[in-house]
Structure 1
Amino acid sequence: MNKNGPVIIIEDDTDDQFMLNLVFQKLAYSNKIIYFLDSEKALDFLDKTDEMPFLILSDINMPKLDGFALRHKIHIDAQLQVKCIPYLFFSTAVNQQMVIDAYSLSVQGFFIKQNTLDELEKTISVIMEYWKRCASPNNF
């Protein structure tokens, strides 16, 4: 995990992207934010980039490849596994089975998208601060 690396946001809803962009601008983290509208493009980027992302925030319900399928592909890819990129679900769709399925794929968090800018800001701040303070195997 590269604490100064980019935050990868996989979100097909442009309104949600806009809200997240406002929050990240206000919080002023130095991390670059990279948005993807679909999981296949995000996976292609992760496979080809030399950058070490800080974390991945992924929606679940997306066209082509949903968040669960993307997580599975990353989880079984040895090259991506060693990068130790925290993978977090960030979705409006949630039920108990989805959370069970997410954690069975070894996600590091499941967060519900907030409806207000203030609540979204609090959630993003908690996520970023937690992972900024967390140690990972490739920090040494």
Structure 2
Amino acid sequence: MNKQGEIIIVDDDTDDLDILKEVYGLLPFVNRLVTFSDGEDVCNYLKNPESYPFLIISDINMPKMNGFELRDRVFKEAEIAKRIIPFVFMSTCADRSTMKKYCMNSFHGFFEKKSDFIQMTKMLERIIGYWKDAIPSD
């Protein structure tokens, strides 16, 4: 795990991306933040052998490629999967069927987006802080 690598946030909602960028700017982390609105763009970015992000945070409900499909592609591509990149969902969708699918696929985390800016800030800080403490760096 590359704890110094970039943090990738994937969300097709530009308002949510803007809020997450603002929230991240308030946090004490120095990792570069990279945002995408499309899963295909993330896959292309990760195909670059020099790309070794620390963490991926993805929405679930996105057109073209949803978060589950993105996660599957990231973990099935051998060159990407061997980099050990935690993949976390942050979505407004927390219904029973989504949670069931989430639990069946052993993801690294599922968090419901907060509508309150302070709560969102605290949640993002806890997510990143957890992974900073979780596994020794490469």
Q: Fold conserved (TM > 0.5)?
A: yes
1:94 Cα deviation from its structure 2 partner: 1.4
Measured in 2, the distance between the counterparts of 1:13 and 1:126 equals 22
1:65 Cα deviation from its structure 2 partner: 0.5
Hey, what does 1:121 align to over in structure 2? 121
Matched, 1:26 2:26: yes
TM-score for both structures, normalised by structure 2: 0.94
1:18 Cα deviation from its structure 2 partner: 1.1
1:97 Cα deviation from its structure 2 partner: 2.0
Hey, what does 1:64 align to over in structure 2? 64
Q: 1:79 to 1:49 in 2, by over 3 A?
A: closer
What is the SS of the residue equivalent to 1:41? helix
Give the total of aligned pairs.
138
Measured in 2, the distance between the counterparts of 1:56 and 1:30 equals 16
Larger mean CA deviation between 66-75 and 107-116 belongs to 66-75
Measured in 2, the distance between the counterparts of 1:72 and 1:80 equals 11
Measured in 1, the distance between the counterparts of 2:62 and 2:72 equals 15
1:49 Cα deviation from its structure 2 partner: 4.4
Aligned-residue RMSD, C-alpha: 1.3
Structure 2 stretches lacking a partner, 5+ long: none
Amino acid corresponding to residue 70 of structure 1 in structure 2: L
Hey, what does 2:37 align to over in structure 1? 37
Structure 1 stretches lacking a partner, 5+ long: none
Q: Percent identity?
A: 36
Hey, what does 1:111 align to over in structure 2? 111
